[in-house]
Structure 1
């Protein structure tokens, strides 16, 4: 018989329901693990300078990557798997999906949820499948920030939504796309694909090369998310695909994953609008450092 007092237990979940709750937690985390941004940045030197990485510019010193703490890979994967319904719910809710967290849990348990559109249920299941693919790849050592992995994940995540899932815009029989509707109103046009998608392919290659110059794997993962989101490589599902890629990159490198909570949707949308309007990812990257998954989900004190 096990001794309950000595038995290790998973931390109690502490999901917040409002942006104020998450803002309070972010402030507490900063107080415990670092009060402000680094004075040098992931490349060293002048932290105030603007860098270009892929499609975006950003200021390395504006974000405190130290808020994303080291974590054992297997422990992170275990906790991620256990928290999959919450992660899927957050990601889907940010896309406008009306499933509640209990309904997501029910659906992932294999039970149909009445009164919901088929498209919403398919989006939930596809997100779960895409997350599980990433978890499997990290576990067996095959996960990498590359086009092959991104295409495989997108082929699952957006299979019910994108015109051609699993390939960049222009690589198939359909051209164009990439326009984004801003939360604050208006739209931003998409980048040209080039013949057969060659321009987007070149942009992706250049992004990976630029990421290779960053010493901090946390910076590489978050900047990848921002730049891939801005580039709109796919017809749909770009944020979801980039989010899963970012998560896998952080865990594989031995750091906590990032969870963008639905309760902070307004902050997220403001950062995204700035990204698309100006190509500056600084606000978005700084926001992401305050969304470490296990601090926003669990009481770690």
Structure 2
């Protein structure tokens, strides 16, 4: 009788369990099955253990991150590392993202993602894209995958599928170009053949490799993304290194331009105004380029615009002059934290004197990024400046070093306001100290600028480095076009006949062979207006500068009605 009662209890419990399970939404089981399918793809027992729930919970409790903290290009890897290395300073910085005094990292993030309408729509688009790929409609499938990735940008499976589609598109274009070149090889010269080879759109492969990296950030155990990134990464590294070599050659060509070149002098002055205009416009300043130039040249306020916006122009002008006249004079001296504080003091000198040149004292939140706690800022800034002046940073390409310093400062977010403008000043200071022209981040690229910063914050800084590379090369091209009428890299074909340039291999031998070396202050500031040149005051408030001390000291500004 007791045995029958025991069996009845078991059947009753099983019936209750089946009933409760049947009440769960079907999407839950589809999600579980998808996770199990990914789990069975893991190749080794070690990977199976690392993906288990108990291992993840244990790692979260002891505080070790389960996500890959940083993904670096080959030029940034420590010696001997070839894949997904630990880069001490940056990985430590990433770990501070969820740090809060008195709270454990265990509670900072939830273990699972809640399904939303966007993620469900993304899943539908993904499945439809798979069907379109099976039918051979690769273009339609690519559009659907891009749509799915926009709806659910943290889905490792969708990101990997989109990367594979972009990689296939790159392979198809490459194969078509190769076939075309082979069919016309008898009619093509070597020069034209190399031009065809360089016409292969490398952007798709670079984007594919970046998507694999993002997928691994979201799911480090996803084997398909790991395999794809290991396959594409060496090719992308070659693209990145070749791009930097081309820029080095352009810098060498730029140094062949004498300072007396009128086109170069004019473009330097124009770029000075553009630097101030675009750096302020990125932060929301509504003054146009012409209005910015008028404020700088006349020191007279522009009608219809707030004084705060015009004061932002004056502050950035004072910061640029301090950078030119003081920080670039002793180019061999290390950059110190106090130098950044002085730059920031000038950036906000006409806007907020109480916070100018001072670190923030409380926690701030910037969109979906939470900067480190305020009490950590002095230590982090000391570490940042130590890294900027270290041999490790000096071994990087100047553009990479400047881009990383820019991102690190924005990540720390040490000030209440003016972080972006100060970071761009630091970036250009690093570039100009080694002989590179300063880079302009244009207002039109604001969205891409913030997107690449966001990608860097989650673990992959290479898209941001490539973005800064684009900006630096664009500025360099402007200088070359002004001096030569062309930005072609072929120095021997386009440069002055009396100059012979040795084959460049890195920045150091380039600078040692320079014959016409311009001064380090590429930003040529306009001359200061005198009192006799000042126009008559307008009916509204006017701003007039009476003096500018040595070393870019803050000018005295008179407000008159």
TM-score, scaled relative to structure 1: 0.71
Shift of 1:252: 0.8
Find the counterpart in structure 2 of residue 93 from structure 1: 281
Question: Alpha-carbon deviations, 1:220-266, whole Å to 9, x = none?
Answer: 22210010111101111111101111101111112232111112122
Shift of 1:209: 3.4
Provide the rounded CA distance (Å) in 2 between the counterparts of 1:141 and 1:150. 15
Find the counterpart in structure 1 of residue 380 from structure 2: 203
Shift of 1:136: 1.0
Provide the rounded CA distance (Å) in 2 between the counterparts of 1:275 and 1:158. 27
Find the counterpart in structure 2 of residue 9 from structure 1: none
| Preserved contact between residue 41 and residue 47 of structure 1 (Cα < 8 Å) | no
Q: Residues 63, 180 of structure 1: CA spacing in aligned structure 2 closer, same or farther, 3 A cutoff?
A: farther
Q: Residues 92, 296 of structure 1: CA spacing in aligned structure 2 closer, same or farther, 3 A cutoff?
A: farther
Does 2:320 correspond to 1:131? yes
Q: Residues 290, 162 of structure 1: CA spacing in aligned structure 2 closer, same or farther, 3 A cutoff?
A: farther
Find the counterpart in structure 1 of residue 416 from structure 2: 235
Question: Alpha-carbon deviations, 1:93-138, whole Å to 9, x = none?
Answer: 1111111111111111123211001111011111111111111124
1:168 corresponds, among 359, 362, 370, to: 359
Q: 1:188-267 alignment to 2 at 5 Å?
A: 188-194=369-375, 199-211=376-388, 212=390, 213-214=392-393, 215-216=395-396, 217-267=398-448
Higher helix share: 2
Does 2:449 correspond to 1:268? yes
- Higher RCO by CA contacts (8 Å cutoff, separation 6 or greater): 1
Structure 1 residues without counterparts, runs of 5 or longer: 1-37, 170-174, 182-186
Find the counterpart in structure 1 of residue 467 from structure 2: 287
Q: Give the alignment's Cα RMSD to 1 decimal.
A: 3.3
2:310 corresponds, among 121, 125, 141, to: 121
Provide the rounded CA distance (Å) in 2 between the counterparts of 1:68 and 1:162. 40
Q: Residues 149, 203 of structure 1: CA spacing in aligned structure 2 closer, same or farther, 3 A cutoff?
A: same
Q: 1:150-165 alignment to 2 at 5 Å?
A: 150-159=340-349, 160-161=351-352, 164-165=355-356
Find the counterpart in structure 1 of residue 75 from structure 2: 41
Decide which moves more: 143-152 or 208-217. 208-217
In the alignment of these two chains, the number of paired residues is: 248
| Preserved contact between residue 230 and residue 279 of structure 1 (Cα < 8 Å) | no
| Preserved contact between residue 406 and residue 424 of structure 2 (Cα < 8 Å) | yes
| Preserved contact between residue 144 and residue 249 of structure 1 (Cα < 8 Å) | no
Find the counterpart in structure 2 of residue 177 from structure 1: 363
Q: Residues 289, 103 of structure 1: CA spacing in aligned structure 2 closer, same or farther, 3 A cutoff?
A: same
Provide the rounded CA distance (Å) in 2 between the counterparts of 1:40 and 1:259. 26
Shift of 1:190: 2.7
Q: Residues 93, 282 of structure 1: CA spacing in aligned structure 2 closer, same or farther, 3 A cutoff?
A: same
Q: Residues 221, 235 of structure 1: CA spacing in aligned structure 2 closer, same or farther, 3 A cutoff?
A: same
TM-score, scaled relative to structure 2: 0.40
Find the counterpart in structure 1 of residue 550 from structure 2: none
Shift of 1:177: 3.4
User: What is the DSSP-based 3-state SS (H/G/I as helix, E as strand, rest coil) of the residue aligned with 2:283?
Assistant: coil
Q: Residues 268, 162 of structure 1: CA spacing in aligned structure 2 closer, same or farther, 3 A cutoff?
A: farther
Q: Residues 63, 236 of structure 1: CA spacing in aligned structure 2 closer, same or farther, 3 A cutoff?
A: farther
User: What is the DSSP-based 3-state SS (H/G/I as helix, E as strand, rest coil) of the residue aligned with 1:254?
Assistant: coil
Q: Residues 81, 150 of structure 1: CA spacing in aligned structure 2 closer, same or farther, 3 A cutoff?
A: farther
Provide the rounded CA distance (Å) in 2 between the counterparts of 1:242 and 1:128. 15
Structure 2 residues without counterparts, runs of 5 or longer: 1-71, 96-209, 214-235, 488-561
Shift of 1:296: 5.8
Shift of 1:144: 4.2
Provide the rounded CA distance (Å) in 2 between the counterparts of 1:80 and 1:140. 19
| Preserved contact between residue 129 and residue 157 of structure 1 (Cα < 8 Å) | yes
Decide which moves more: 200-209 or 112-121. 200-209
Q: Residues 144, 126 of structure 1: CA spacing in aligned structure 2 closer, same or farther, 3 A cutoff?
A: farther
